[in-house]
Structure 1
Amino acid sequence: MNVARALRILAALIIGTLTAVVELAGLLVAAPLALLCLPHPAARRAGERLLRAVAVPLARAEIRRLGLLGGLDVTVGTGRVAGYLAARWPVGLLGGLVLFLLVVGVSTSVLFVWGWAHGESPDGIPPTPGILAYLGVAGIVLLFLDIMGIQGVAALELRVARRFLGPSPTELLERRIDELARTRAGVVSAVDQERRRIERDLHDGVQQRLVALAVLIGRARRGRTPQLRDDLLQQAHEEAQEALRELREVAWRVYPAELDTLGLREALSAVAERAGVPVTVAYGLTAHPPTEVETAVYFVVREAVTNAAKHAAAGQVRVEILEDGDTIVVRVRDDGRGGADPGGGGLSGLARRVAALDGRFRVDSPPGGPTAVSAELPRA
């Protein structure tokens, strides 16, 4: 835990102790009034409105305070706010108690050290080696327990807020269904877009080469002299080689055979060799990823490197494949002119492919560069 985070946690718990006192006082006032209003519908409705008018601002203030502890995906409505405040005030007082014990322990330690430094013996305890060792060990243990208590209270604060103010299981399920529907539509669109690009490459590239090859062979058959036939056959041979090369390029863009035969590392090395610009690949995976994740990593790197070479006028590209727990992180950075459009065909297709695996995709490409393409993919 760094110093800044520790100070934020301490500030959140101190403020939380004060707000817990306010919430407890409000509960002690509101509970008897609510009991008195129960037999009277009009009075009960008025009391509920008054309770919401007080509870909602308090809950919003609590959420802002908990922002010091970390991000929260919660919404302050009117349904469970009163329950949240009723459940939170004991946690706030517990945090105040832990902080009080910390202050008492630190002040006692300072008092003893100050007295011994000035030749005094606080509470008649002399600074013998045994006493110093005992108090040192006890102080370290109590300080450790206080720190653990502070972290525990902070975690409990966040858990109570998520329990009462966070999305319900039904809402989470609806969000998941919406996300799956979007990613499914994105995958269908990406596949259709890739199919159209393959058809275009075959029509504009390979097909034109084959037509030229057929024309040259036809002319060679009608050639009047051996020299003309040899020249035409030489041109036909060159066209056939170009057609094979372009056909291999199309097949490589559909699915790289290196992934199945040699693995991801060698497939990325092949991407670097074909890039046309210097590409450095830092491969940090210790285990073989699942096939679908491996394929997504390959396409992210290939598309980013291809864009850097063809459109960004990059002079150097660096590729990093790292592990962060159960997440595979892909970063591709170039020194080109930037300005890449995340909504473009290739990058948007990558975003949909990554989203289909519950991953995250990001493009940072300010005008003038550099461009950084990153993806985070769960291993399973």
Structure 2
Amino acid sequence: MKMLHAWLRALYRICEPIRVFTLAAGVALGAATALVGLLYLAVAALAYAVLGFVPRVRQRITGVARRLAEYDRRRVERFLGGAPAGVVTDARAVGYLAVRVPLGALGGTVLLLLLYGALTGFAVVVGWIVGRPVDDIEATPFIVVYFAILGVVLLFLAVQGIVGVAALDRRLTRALLGPTEKAHYEQRIAVLSAARAEIVAAVDAERRRIERDLHDGVQQRLVALGMLLGRARRATDPVKADDLLRQAHEESAGVLAELREVAWRVYPSALDDGGLPAALEIVAERSPVPVRVALDVPVRPDPAVETVAYFVVCEAVTNAAKHSRASRVEVGVACLGDVVHVRIQDDGVGGADPTGGGLAGLHRRVTALDGQLHVHSPVGGPTTITAELPCA
């Protein structure tokens, strides 16, 4: 049933009218740019054969190729999506324009066939309405049903052709105009270096927070506990000594509770014992705001992924309780393929700052696992925090 639902969703996305029109416009422009590229290659070959020995002529010819390739990259980015910018050299630009010619011809052929089919169907329908059937095709019920089914099938095939040409166009642009392998590795190294520095800073900040919690909370209460025991030891009145011992017992219970709270904020033991469901259940129980948790994780993910997912939920719920004035929080965790999706939404006032301390720390945690964190919090709400954590 889930596979059928996923297939229907994919089919809807493919056949979504606005998306199809956008892709069709991109494919049509691609056919036009392919024709321009073909004309350029012909003129450039002739110019090279006649004036190729002049350096200025060679520079202008290759400069035109770079501009045409960059324009086509922007076309793919605007209409088809997913065209990362890279260093467009002369050789890459000329090679891209040459390879684009047959792909543009394919896209133009698909669009012409679609236009021809639409005009033919329109002519047949108009002929039936005015009483002048095209090619003596009478509008019998069987013929009407036959043409309707045939038109739907051909429309579906034409849409699939447009989507296929658009996908090939995206892949070609990524391969020939996208970042080179060296640039990709350099970018990856820069991202990892920044993430490492952020993680080191986050660890230091966490250590300082733990030290403050122990110094301002646990240490002060232990000092008070020692003073109570000292007074009870020196007391000569049995009634007063019993009262001091009772206070000391209550203080020791408070110290234990605060130590558990500090340990829970560092790392919840429930993650090791019962996994993510048990840890999130405790988060919901401890939250002052009602929290509804929905989990769809058939296989337990890696411990690192579980830990990050837990802290994302915990921080989001804490922010909702402290700042958003929310009356309820919805938490959803689902494993789709090799990615764990975490989604937290509250009905508060919104306006959360993604660069704030808590959310910035979550971003560092998620980035350390090559994941992505998105915060959508317009003024007036609702606030939605989503995290995508790769688990493969």
TM-score for the superposition, normalised by structure 1: 0.89
**Does residue 75 of structure 2 align to residue 65 of structure 1?**
yes
State the partner residue of 2:60.
50
How far off is 1:109 after superposition? 2.9
1:159 to 160, 168, 171: 171
**Does residue 190 of structure 2 align to residue 172 of structure 1?**
no
> Which residue identity lines up with residue 57 of structure 1 in the other structure?
R
**Does residue 48 of structure 2 align to residue 34 of structure 1?**
yes
Quickly say closer, same or farther: Cα 1:3–1:144, change in 2 above 3 A: closer
Quickly say closer, same or farther: Cα 1:311–1:213, change in 2 above 3 A: farther
Once residues 323 and 356 of structure 1 are traced to their aligned partners in structure 2, the CA distance between those partners, rounded to angstroms, is 19
Which stretch has the larger CA shift, 107-116 or 84-93?
107-116
1:316-331 superposed matches below 5 A: 316-331=328-343
**Does residue 226 of structure 2 align to residue 204 of structure 1?**
no
1:257 to 240, 265, 269: 269
Which stretch has the larger CA shift, 301-310 or 159-168?
301-310
How far off is 1:130 after superposition? 7.3
1:252-291 superposed matches below 5 A: 252-291=264-303
How far off is 1:136 after superposition? 5.8
Aligned residues, how many? 376
How far off is 1:195 after superposition? 1.9
Give a deviation string over 1:96-116, Cα, whole Å, max 9, x none: 111112222222333334445
Once residues 369 and 106 of structure 1 are traced to their aligned partners in structure 2, the CA distance between those partners, rounded to angstroms, is 46
CA contact (8 A) 1:187 1:352 kept: yes
> Which residue identity lines up with residue 20 of structure 1 in the other structure?
A
**Does residue 291 of structure 2 align to residue 299 of structure 1?**
no
CA contact (8 A) 2:279 2:310 kept: yes
Give a deviation string over 1:111-160, Cα, whole Å, max 9, x none: 33444555555445566777667666655554443332222211121122
SS of alignment partner, residue 278 of structure 2: helix
> Which residue identity lines up with residue 216 of structure 1 in the other structure?
L
CA contact (8 A) 1:56 1:76 kept: no
State the partner residue of 1:8.
22
SS of alignment partner, residue 79 of structure 2: coil
State the partner residue of 1:77.
88
> Which residue identity lines up with residue 49 of structure 1 in the other structure?
Q
SS of alignment partner, residue 343 of structure 2: strand
Which stretch has the larger CA shift, 189-198 or 200-209?
189-198
State the partner residue of 1:17.
31
Give a deviation string over 1:301-359, Cα, whole Å, max 9, x none: 11222233334444433323234443222222334455544344433222111101111
SS of alignment partner, residue 288 of structure 2: coil
Give ranges in structure 2 of 5+ residues lacking alignment.
1-13
Once residues 336 and 142 of structure 1 are traced to their aligned partners in structure 2, the CA distance between those partners, rounded to angstroms, is 49
State the partner residue of 1:93.
105
State the partner residue of 1:102.
114
How far off is 1:208 after superposition? 1.3
CA contact (8 A) 1:59 1:76 kept: no
How far off is 1:273 after superposition? 1.4
Quickly say closer, same or farther: Cα 1:138–1:279, change in 2 above 3 A: closer
Quickly say closer, same or farther: Cα 1:18–1:313, change in 2 above 3 A: closer
